[in-house]
Amino acid sequence: MNGKTLIVTNPKSGSGRGMGHAERARDLLTANQVSVEIRPTSARGDAETFASEAVNEGYACVAACGGDGTVHEVVNALAGTEVRLGILPCGRGNDFARAMGIPSSPAEAASVLLRGHTRQFDLGKVNGRYFATVVTLGFDSEVARLVYDGAVPFKGVAAYLWGVARMLRTYRGVGLRMTGDFGTINQTVLLAATGNTSTYGGGIKIAPNADPADGALDICLVRMMSAGRILRVFPRVYWGGHLNHPSVFSYRTGRLKLETEQPVVLFADGEPVGETPAEITAVPGALRVASPPPDRDV
């Protein structure tokens, strides 16, 4: 591995284990003659600022030590540059790390950086922001809002499940006009999830066919249904079996437009990214990622 590495860490991630994860990774890298600096975040937006500075300062790699929110910020600084993204997963969901095949152990994740294998992956873009995993609209974005606002007393998948249980009591659906390569759809929906990768919420396989190297986005659209039916369908999401349900539809597109009668909040990578109306696009090969040895390096 050549060049300087910046580790941007969220000290609060992993129930306060973020700094410890970053330090263990740094120790392994420096023991192998890699120049490493750690910068801890203290507020939202810091990770993107630090990563942008690293690009300007000539760093070869910026490693995001935290969850998908930290990755989201760092990605928005690195997209379209030659600086590699490293991932040291230490968050609620770690869905992008899972998609990249990054181990959860700090030492093993640091070893991925050390080996120096790099691959080019796609990103999506919504309302001017890049995203790495999934954009949510509807029921799941409202659940994401609960998690983001700290109204959820759990971590990981348990946090998402708690949010689902709470939202089931009040959610009534949203009228959506969705236009993409597949045409135009007008439908009252429970949710519409647009995936660059297949999972969110700590491994929930909402878009099982999504591939961050195929140049396209996969959409899962679910018609509005009763709470009882939601509870029957929901367990299937963990293995992608929900796509067989008659109220669930899957589409693939390079560009997507979402319109609703009233503005509806959107979340991407568990972070707020504005409201509808919105345009979402696939950005092929936008990000260089330090990842386990692939069939070939780029």
pLDDT digits (tens, 9 = 90+) for 181-207: 999 999 999 999 999 999 998 889 999
Q: Which long-range contacts (CB under 8 A, 24 or more apart) does 227-232 make?
A: 227/168, 227/169, 230/168, 230/190, 231/168
Residue 245 has pLDDT above 80, yes or no: yes
* Residue 244 confidence (pLDDT): 95
Angle separating helix axes 46-56 and 68-78, nearest 10 degrees: 30
* Interval 151-180 mean pLDDT: 84
* Residue 14 confidence (pLDDT): 78
| pTM score | 0.92
* Interval 42-62 mean pLDDT: 97
**Is 271 a catalytic site residue?**
yes
- How much of the chain exceeds pLDDT 70, in percent? 96
Cα 152 to Cα 35: distance, rounded to the nearest angstrom: 39
Tell me the pLDDT tens digit for each residue of 168-183: 888 999 999 999 999 9
* Residue 3 confidence (pLDDT): 84
- How much of the chain exceeds pLDDT 90, in percent? 79
The catalytic position among 48, 73, 142, 271 is: 271
- Average model confidence (pLDDT) across the chain: 93
* Residue 294 confidence (pLDDT): 64
* Interval 239-244 mean pLDDT: 94
* Interval 218-232 mean pLDDT: 94
